[in-house]
Chain A
Amino acid sequence: MQGKISDFSIAEIFQLVANQGKSGSLTIRGGERETVFIFAEGGIIEVQPDRRAQSDLLGTMLVDAGLLTDEELRRMLADQAKAGKKLGELLVEKGKVSMETLARYLHLQVKESVFEILTLKEGDYRFEGFSVRLPPWMKSPIRADVLMMEGMQFLDEAPRYRAKFPAGDFRVSRKRNAKVDLTALPPGESAVWSAIEFSDDPRRIFRKAGVTWLEGIKGLWLLMDRGLIHVTVAETAEVRTDPGRAVRVEIARARILGWVRAVLWASAAVVTAGWIYVIFLSPMATGAFTGWAGFF
């Protein structure tokens, strides 16, 4: 089965495969990319992103999330070429990531790929049927129809959330002294909030939080709406500073704020003391309170 996306939309293709419980591969080409989805009985079990899109690859995702270093990834890719295994299998074997973490990031990879191809307006597709077994890390395939619904919803909301942030690259940081009760936040928002401590780059924040870009941008917007985060435009040539510098700056700033606050409240205390004197101890006040003496 093959055709053009303009004739038969991606949502309809996914729905068809899901409804008929097909197994096989669905290749979608468009926007100079080729993405392959593997289906098992109508559910997605795996995705193979275009090799040209480095950021969508599992290794990059794990590096972004801080679970692997660049060096470790290079070594793993070299081993993978020799062993002929998948990167995920190798990582679990070597104990770099747990099975659960791998499953989480593969799931994320599928979601990100699906959400991305939903934006395609032009391109073509081809489905090839063959029997597929569930991989060991997956208990049940990802329901394509559910994913599609979720993706469509985020696609509708995404422009609105994105418009709240500066055009182009931007950076995110927690506001000074901002602390939140994580149990009171919705799960997605809570994960994004926790991940902000890890990085100020939204892409890495979302990877750390294990959410897609669309989910992440919504979470950021909600945090911004609560007044918890700062958003700044990214500088073109970022200079990496030492991690302790920010804390030192914050401590110095807190000290200055403490002094300013002390001076302000000392002044307020003087004014209040004057006020207390006027209403309780001044001749005018005591005259009102001691009128009783005139009776004797």
Chain B
Amino acid sequence: MERLSCILRRKAASGAALALVILLQSASPALAANEDRFAGYTPAVRDQAGRVVAAAGPGADSAFEKEVRTLRKLMYAQGILSLNAVPDLIFERAVREGWRSRLSAPLRTAVAVSPLSASAWALLVKDDILDARIDELPGDFEGLVGVMRQSPPALLGYGAWLASYLSAAACWFVAWASIALFLRARPSLEGDLSRIIIIPPRDFIAAALAVVVFLLPLLGGQGLAVAACFWMVLSAGYLRRGEFVIVTVAVVLLAALLAGGGIIQSLNRMGSDVRGGGWLGGEGYVPRAWPVESSARRWSLAGTSSAWMVKFAKARAAMIAGDPAESERLWTELIRAGKGLPEVYNNRGISLAMQGKPAEGLSDFETTLAKRPRDGPALWNAYQIYLQSFNLERARAVQPVAWDSLRRMSPYYFKPADMEPGEWVASALPAGELGRSFVESEGGPAYDVGRSDYFLMFFRPLKPSGALAFLVMVFLAGGIWKILATRIWVHTTCRGCGTRTLIGGARESLDLCNLCRARIGGGVKGGGERDRRVQGIGMHRRYVRACSVLVPGSGALWAGKEFRTLLFGIVLALSMAGISASAGSQEGGAMISELRHAVMWWAAGVSALVWLAGAAWSIRSFGRFQDDYNVSGSRR
């Protein structure tokens, strides 16, 4: 994204630059997945993970389930919660070997060892929906929601997705609204342009000038926000009050886009460490590099305010690498630094127990339970210690609540009855802490508003400090022009027949000409005026129909259905945003790519339907409106 930003800053939209960006993007570390996906785990875990991937095959298979169970035991012995690379590799195999359509069963088995794989859960939900597996859907959906609650990368990812999707929808709405409103105002604007032209043929020059005015911001390389605001301000004077509401909504959405860009930029900056197997990937993926702590980096996870999270992830990495002593040291450092969260105590307890110090471990588990009495992992781990130390009375007392708490932990779906002594349940970094850090951080999204890719793309050439003021000015200018247009002589265009009339001191009441009000239709007089009017009506109808097809919903504006058109615009924008937020490069891995691909095609299909329905509705609305005023008739 940084490379992209630089290119946008220089306004270099040349094909060569674009190609370079795509090339560099495709070479990003996230996609460089050919290396050992299980680096960082103990040899036993790595070998067993490899056997699981190799055993996977189409349909349900007991041998595969046995391998998964074995891996799960090994994982819990090391305090490993999830191996997200397992479903990734199984998916790649399925695609490669042609049994992708029968992947659901082995994938559902595999999530037992990769419960924090958001991609796997999302893929299962998608397959459940497409294959109409209603019985499986609630469980898989619960797993997906559980990942969001338990996994910081997933929480960040879904947050970023939501912000991106809504931003794309806002952009689509603004583009749609501004063009539709400009086309609505175009005939009147053209009439007024012809008033200022001295050289004949004035009407031809005015027609060309209206096109030039429309294209001006595009040819000038302005961003979407600037272009849309330019069109909306020009149109405002010729619009009805209901249509001005659409202008208001568009301006508000542009302001929201500013904020959305800031949020995404902040999340991107925050997540920059995730990509390429950063520390946040520690819970499901193998970290390949750790961020360098630096106070100079304003609010990032490597910054001072969030450095404890890096230490948390390092301690977890040490645990899963089979180094309980190192992890114990890191957990202790965290506790001394004031970050004695229940998760930290629980994990240190496991590290101690793994080193043969059950009493110290039990002490930490009890501390955890003192802080959070219903903590499932701590209850289970304490129960394990009681069993190991033959404190059967205490074990019996704890067992029901420990089992019950563990069973409820989505998306892990622990089965305590199948679990054996020596299996530990570690605690992941609480996703809520990440959100808290995000909200409480200095600057945060507000700091990033002017640095976001969205700002560079959609608000150029504005400066970050002036963007909000610009939007306020746009709204005020539109309002002033609208009020002024009711007091000076400007053109209005009859919505029924397209006749242009120069009026002064009035606006909305006169957007239907007297002939349409009188329902005269095409019949005016016996002479040539009738032919001229019939021709005018025909040209107006063709214009509105063309607008309705190119910008669906715009015909309904001519029919006076502003608020229904506003709702239609929102629906269209939401469907089109599905394409923008899903299309593009393969970032995110094979499973996410397939999901994006599916969403993109679904969104494209829905968008096409909405587009066609909108065009048909617009044409029908306008046709009915004309019928109501007998515009298509020819009463003499």
Residues of chain A touching chain B, judged by Cβ–Cβ distance below 8 Å, are: 176-181, 184, 226-228, 243-244, 246-248, 250-251, 254-255, 257-258, 260-262, 264-265, 267-269, 271-272, 275-276, 278-296
Contacts and interface: CB of A to CB of B under 8 A. Distances in A.
A38 B47 CA distance: 127
A291 B207 contact: no
Contact of A294 (B30, B207, B505, B535): B30
- Listed from nearest, the 4 A-B pairs whose CB atoms lie closest are A247-B528, A286-B584, A293-B588, A295-B157
Nearest to A227: B195
Given A286-B584, A287-B1, A281 B579 contact: yes
Interface string B497-530: 0011111111000100100000000000001110
A226 B580 CA distance: 48
A180 B503 contact: yes
A244 B161 CA distance: 65
B218 A275 contact: yes
Contacts of A288: 1, 4, 453-454, 457
B177 interface: no
Given A257-B203, A258-B539, A289 B168 contact: yes
B271 interface: yes
Interface residues of B, number: 88
Nearest to B499: A179
B504 A184 contact: yes
A292 B161 contact: yes
B275 A294 contact: yes
Given A181-B501, A280-B168, A296-B119, 5 more contacts: A251-B532, A271-B219, A279-B458, A289-B580, A294-B274
B107 interface: no
Contacts of B158: 292
Given A184-B505, A271-B215, A295 B500 contact: no
Contacts of A257: 203-204, 207
24 contacts: A177-B499, A243-B528, A247-B528, A251-B531, A272-B215, A276-B175, A279-B171, A281-B580, A286-B585, A287-B21, A287-B25, A289-B164, A289-B167, A290-B164, A290-B581, A290-B583, A290-B588, A291-B587, A292-B157, A293-B161, A293-B593, A293-B596, A294-B28, A294-B271
Given A244-B528, A247-B528, A184 B506 contact: yes
A250 B531 CA distance: 10
Contacts of B219: 271
Given A283-B585, A286-B580, A261 B207 contact: yes
B481 interface: no
A187 to B, nearest CB: 15
Contacts of A276: 175
Interface in B10-47: 13, 18, 21-22, 25, 28, 30
A264 B207 contact: yes
B224 interface: yes
A162 B499 CA distance: 32
Interface string B447-488: 000000110011000000000000000000000000000000
B611 interface: no
B59 interface: no
Nearest to B196: A227
Main secondary structure of the interface of A (DSSP, over half): helix
Contacts of A226: 489, 502
A293 B592 contact: yes
B585 A177 contact: no
B588 A272 contact: no
A243 B525 CA distance: 14
Query: Which of A228, A260, A264 has its CB near the most chain B CB atoms (within 10 A)?
Result: A264
Contact of B268 (A279, A281, A291): A291
B544 to A, nearest CB: 13
A254 B506 contact: no
A104 to B, nearest CB: 25
A295 B84 CA distance: 13
B172 A296 contact: no
Contacts of B496: none
Interface in B137-158: 153-154, 156-158
A99 to B, nearest CB: 29
B168 to A, nearest CB: 5
Interface string B260-281: 0000100110010011000000
B589 A228 contact: no
A84 to B, nearest CB: 42
Contact of B528 (A248, A258, A272): A248
A248 B530 CA distance: 11
B208 interface: yes
A283 B21 contact: yes
B500 A179 contact: yes
B588 A294 contact: yes
B179 interface: yes
Contact of B584 (A179, A267, A271, A290): A290
B57 interface: no
Given A184-B505, A268-B211, A283 B22 contact: yes
Nearest to B152: A295
B218 A179 contact: no
A275 B165 CA distance: 20
A267 B211 contact: yes
B30 A291 contact: no
Contact of B582 (A251, A271, A278, A290): A290
Contacts of A178: 500, 502
Interface in B570-591: 576, 579-585, 587-589
Contact of B164 (A179, A269, A271, A291): A291
Nearest to B208: A264
B91 interface: no
Contacts of A179: 499-502, 513
Contacts of B215: 268, 271-272
Contacts of B579: 280-281
